[in-house]
Structure formats: structure tokens, C-alpha cells
């Protein structure tokens, strides 16, 4: 696994509604060592739900991908992990088990970070998935469930004992959702307590923060989530900072609008009418540019590539 994280040190996190094929493509082009699909429901896969299975489609040239499964039934998680491995074959870099998502619709069913409240069940899921598959298996979780009650170290030990090949730790409590700051020292404490590799996650927004997390925690790799939204350049910045070389210059208005256009075209080629998913991405790309407020309102009414292109043209004439 150390070899894996030697190769895949800067990783795009699995994000529902965000890390689709188009976004993964631009992030890989900008330097991401590995990208994750959106998180995938094991239960949905077990029902042969086409919408769920569609999440596992790969982009052209996407040789390796990470897949994150969520669910709380050990047998279902194991059977679907086996199916994912069979379907993706050598394209599957590794399987991650979601034990960190704090969204209400996820935890209300006992999935995601709700598993941190039941370490025994979480460990059984890891053991079952390992038993059913031959690929590397990891688990992503948080500092703890309840605000102020850090349990990640003992939880990580249980996950390691169950057979996980690595863990990813997000430095917030589940009850925090995404508020406040990620506490990186919790990642360092996990790193010191277990022998398997640790990936750090939370509040990586540029090259400097990527380097700071690595230095403060000793983590084997970093995983970038919200910091990449509208900012795929962060991967090249992070890799440069981790290597101790000069970071590439920050994108200017032309770069940002140009990347937004490319992203929209990629999404249109793949998703057609689902290009409405571009609305949030477009808003992220142009945040802070002159005329961005007006553009956001226009983006939120767009439902075709042509309409997005018209708004990009207007914004470009305003900015450049």
C-alpha cells in the first residue's frame, strides 16, 4: 500500500453530485494522481439500479479510479464490493468504505458517519468486504461522531484489526458537518497509533495547506474535496508544494472561464440534458470575478450548453 500512495499521493475525494466523469477528467488533467467516483450505494447496486451503476462509468482514458461504497449491511457491502471489482477489473485502484459522510439522509439510514457510533459493525463490514474481494480496501471516517468526543484513534485501530489496507481521516466531527475548521492533529494521532497508511482530508485549499497537512500529520497521502470545486488547479499546486518546487501560477479570469467552458462541453457530451449539473460548477469557477453575481443568477437558469456558453461570453466580455 505504501507503493500505492507513493504513486497516488494527491487524490480527488468522492463527492456526491460533484465527482462525475467530467469533473474527474479536468482534475486528472490538472494533476490529480487518482480520482474517485461519486459515492455509490451498495443497496442501489444490489437492486441493479441503473442510475447507481451509471456512477461507475469511466471516462475515456481513465485507467484507474477509486470507488467508495456506502451502506451498513455487511453482506450487501461485501457482495457489491465483489461485483464492483469484477466489473472494473484492473481499472479499480481500490475500494473505500464510507464511514464519514455526515449528510442527514445518509446517517438516518445508519450509513456513512453513523457507523462511527457502532465500531463493531464498522469492523464487520471491513472484514466482510476484505473476505469477498482481492483488491485493496480502505475506510474513510471522521474525527468522531459527537462534537467534542474524539474517537478516531480507537476507531482506526478497530478498522486496522478488521483488515483494512489504509484509512482516510477527515479532521471534523460528524456533528460539525462542514462547519468550523478541520483539526489536523487528530489525523496525526491516528497516524501514530496504527501501522497501515493514513490519508489526510479536510481544509486543503491550496498548495501551502497541502504541504502543511503533510508536515503536521505525517500522512501518506492527501485527499482534496471542496478545495477542488471550481479549482482543479489545486492538484498541480499541491503536488508542487509537496515536492518542494515552485507552484504554478494561480489561474486568471481567462483560465477560469476557459476551464468552465471545457467542463461544460465535457458534461454535455456525456450527460446531455443533465448539463444542469453544470450550474453549481459554473458558479464555483467564476466566484470572485467581476460580474460573477449576475452570472450566477443566469447560470441557475441555464439548461443547455448554448445557454451556458452565452453567459460565459457575457462574463468574458466583462472581465477581459
| Cα separation, 248 vs 19, whole angstroms | 23
How many residues can be counted in the chain? 320
Is residue 55 within 8 A of residue 32, CB to CB? The reply is no
| Structure-block grid coordinates of residue 1 | 500500500
Neighbours of 218 (CB within 10 A): 13
Residue linked to cell 452570472: 295
Q: Is 283 a catalytic residue?
A: no
Residue linked to cell 501560477: 249
CA-based nearest residue to 232, from 212, 254, 206: 206
CA-based nearest residue to 270, from 26, 12, 9: 26
| Cα separation, 39 vs 106, whole angstroms | 11
DSSP 112: G
Main-chain phi, psi angles of 144, to 5 degrees: 170, 175
The catalytic residue among 101, 152, 219, 302 is 101
| Cα separation, 81 vs 75, whole angstroms | 10
- Cα angle 120, 125, 129; round to 5: 150
Residues whose CB falls within 8 Å of the CB of residue 59, separated by 6 or more in sequence, listed in order: 21, 22, 24, 25, 270
The catalytic site residues sit at 101
Amino acid at each position: 500500500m505504501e507503493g500505492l500512495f507513493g504513486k497516488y499521493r494527491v487524490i480527488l475525494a468522492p463527492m456526491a453530485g460533484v465527482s462525475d466523469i467530467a469533473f474527474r477528467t479536468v482534475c486528472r488533467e490538472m494533476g490529480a494522481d487518482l480520482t474517485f467516483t461519486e459515492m455509490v450505494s451498495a443497496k442501489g447496486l444490489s437492486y441493479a439500479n441503473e442510475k447507481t451503476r451509471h456512477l461507475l462509468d469511466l471516462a475515456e482514458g481513465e485507467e484507474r479510479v477509486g470507488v467508495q461504497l456506502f451502506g451498513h449491511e455487511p453482506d450487501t457491502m461485501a457482495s457489491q464490493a465483489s461485483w464492483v471489482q469484477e466489473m472494473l477489473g484492473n481499472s479499480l485502484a481500490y475500494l473505500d468504505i464510507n464511514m464519514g459522510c455526515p449528510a442527514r439522509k445518509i446517517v438516518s439510514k445508519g450509513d456513512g458517519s453513523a457507523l462511527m457510533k457502532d465500531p463493531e459493525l464498522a469492523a464487520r463490514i471491513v472484514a466482510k468486504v476484505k473476505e469477498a474481494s482481492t483488491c485493496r480496501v480502505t475506510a474513510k471516517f471522521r474525527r468522531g461522531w459527537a462534537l467534542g468526543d474524539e474517537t478516531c484513534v480507537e476507531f482506526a485501530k478497530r478498522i486496522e484489526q478488521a483488515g483494512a489496507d489504509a484509512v482516510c481521516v477527515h479532521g471534523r466531527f460528524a456533528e460539525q458537518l462542514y462547519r468550523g475548521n478541520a483539526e489536523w492533529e487528530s489525523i496525526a494521532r491516528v497516524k501514530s497509533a496504527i501501522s497501515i497508511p493514513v490519508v489526510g482530508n479536510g481544509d486543503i485549499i491550496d498548495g501551502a495547506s497541502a504541504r502543511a497537512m503533510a508536515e503536521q500529520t505525517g500522512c501518506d497521502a492527501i485527499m482534496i474535496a471542496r478545495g477542488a470545486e471550481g479549482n482543479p488547479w489545486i492538484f498541480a499546486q499541491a503536488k508542487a508544494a509537496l515536492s518542494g518546487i515552485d507552484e504554478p501560477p494561480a489561474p486568471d479570469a481567462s483560465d477560469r472561464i476557459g476551464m468552465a467552458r471545457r467542463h461544460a462541453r465535457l458534461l454535455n457530451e456525456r450527460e446531455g440534458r443533465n448539463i444542469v449539473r453544470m450550474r453549481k460548477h459554473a458558479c464555483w469557477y467564476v466566484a470572485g470575478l467581476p460580474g460573477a453575481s449576475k452570472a450566477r443568477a443566469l447560470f441557475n437558469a441555464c439548461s443547455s450548453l448554448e445557454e451556458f456558453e452565452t453567459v460565459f461570453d457575457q462574463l468574458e466580455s466583462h472581465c477581459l
